Every structure is written in C-alpha cells, then in structure tokens.
Amino acid sequence: MQKQAKLTVIVILLILGPFFDESSAQNNDRKFNLSFNINYTTTAKLYLNPKSSDEITRNNYMPLEKIVSPSLDIRYSITDEFILGLSTEYLKKTAIMPDLLVASPRGTMALEVEDGFKLIPVEISAYYLLPFSSETFKLYMGGGLAYYYGEQIRKFSDVEVSNLHRDFAYGIQFSIATDYMLTKFLSMRGEMKFRDPEFEVTSQYNRKSIVYQDQTIFITQNSFISKINVDGITFTFGLAFHF
C-alpha cells in the first residue's frame, strides 16, 4: 500500500510539474475552507470467521465493493504552504450472503441474509501546498492520523444483530488532493486517499427463533465475531468554500 502511494505521487508530480508557475502558490488570505464531498471507495472485506482455527475458514471473506459515502472536511491554513485538516465520513455497505446456516425441523438449512458494515472515520491531516501550484490550480500532499468507529450490519426476515463489543481502530492515512479555483471563494476538489482500517466486532442476534416459510427456524449461534477491513483506495469529489 505504501509503495503504491509513493509511486502514484511520483508519477503525478512528474506529469504535472512542468505546467505550473512556481511563483504563485498563495491562498489569497483566506485561512479556512469547508468542503462537502462524495467519496468512492473501491473495496472492503468482511471476514465472517476471523477466530477460526482453520486457516482457510479464517481467511475467507465477503467482498464489498463500490462504496459511495458523504464526507465533510474543514481545513485551516497555518501558512501559505502548510494546512491542517479535520474530516469525517459516513460509510455504509451491505450485500446479500446466501449461506447463513440455521436449524429447522427439517434439518439444517441456509438462509439469505443482508450483511455489511457501517464505518465513521475521523481523520486529522496535515497538507503541504506544492510550490508549483498556481492561483487557479493547487496541488497538495497530505497525511495524518485516523480514528475509526464501526459496527456490523446483518438482517434477515425480522432478525437483526446488535453489537456487543467493538474495537476502536486507529491508523494512518495518506492522500494527494487538488483544488481548482472557480472563484476566489469556491473551488472544485479532488482527492485520492490511501488507508487501511481494520477492526473486530462482537455481535448478537436480537431473536432466538423466527417463522420462515411456515417453519420455525432456530438461531443456534448466540454471539459471533466478525472482522471488517476497508482496504480500497478512496476517491473524493466535492466543492470547497474558502473564507
């Protein structure tokens, strides 16, 4: 992941470097900017049996892809070149899993369930405005610390799960970002972010049995542990207001 991020930055710098004027990397005396964004995260993984003694079962995961989420980002320019940022986001993604095993009078059967996760990252970042930026086009490199709060989602029939225990995940993130100034007060923002949050969740079903297709289905598993890993690249598109 780190090698991929470094290679991406080098390529972008080599391509864009000759096109910008080194003499004009100013923030026009506007110290704050607030952006409203839509994010696209390429992939995530939901591990359904991360504590299994069997390696194949332990490493088996449910893929979750094409995650669209809103985010909010506020930044403050300490100097013309250095900016501090605070951002938060709301990710939610589910998919249908066809093989939850339950007990019925006719024996063990598999049910389709909606499985997935919610995740709220809170990220503190420092950005450097690259010297070949211009008044119209600004290019940043940044990175920082992140705190992740998440939970698992599982639903079928009228059964849901509640989270008994969740890990609070911490990590680092790295990004490259651009602002294209439409006016002195408004810009279009694009960003590419690399991060890898991972945490475990202990969940419990809210019911012990249900009636499904005229059968009484018993949920024999009292509680279970899952692991969530959001390992994809995040692309951000938004509008930033400068004031």
Q: What is the pLDDT of residues 109-118, one digit of tens each?
A: 677 789 999 9
DSSP labels for 79-115?
SSSEEEEEEEE-EEEEEEEEEEEEEETTEEEEEEEEE
- CA angle in degrees (0–180, nearest 5) for 136-37-72: 110
CA proximity to 140, closest of 102, 195, 192, 177:
177
pTM metric for this prediction: 0.83
CATH number of the domain bearing residue 198: 2.40.160.20
Q: How many domains does the chain have?
A: 1
Q: What is the pLDDT of residues 32-81, one digit of tens each?
A: 999 999 999 999 999 988 999 999 989 999 999 999 999 999 999 999 89
Residue 227 structural domain: 2-242
Q: What is the pLDDT of residues 22-31, one digit of tens each?
A: 434 455 578 9
- Mean pLDDT across the chain, nearest whole number? 85
CA proximity to 217, closest of 161, 160, 157:
157
Q: Is the pLDDT of residue 145 over 90?
A: yes
Judge contact between 44 and 232, C-beta under 8 A. Answer: yes
d(CA 94, CA 98): 13
Which one-letter DSSP state was computed for residue 12?
A: H
Which pLDDT does position 45 carry in this prediction?
96
Q: Token digits for 122?
A: 């809170």
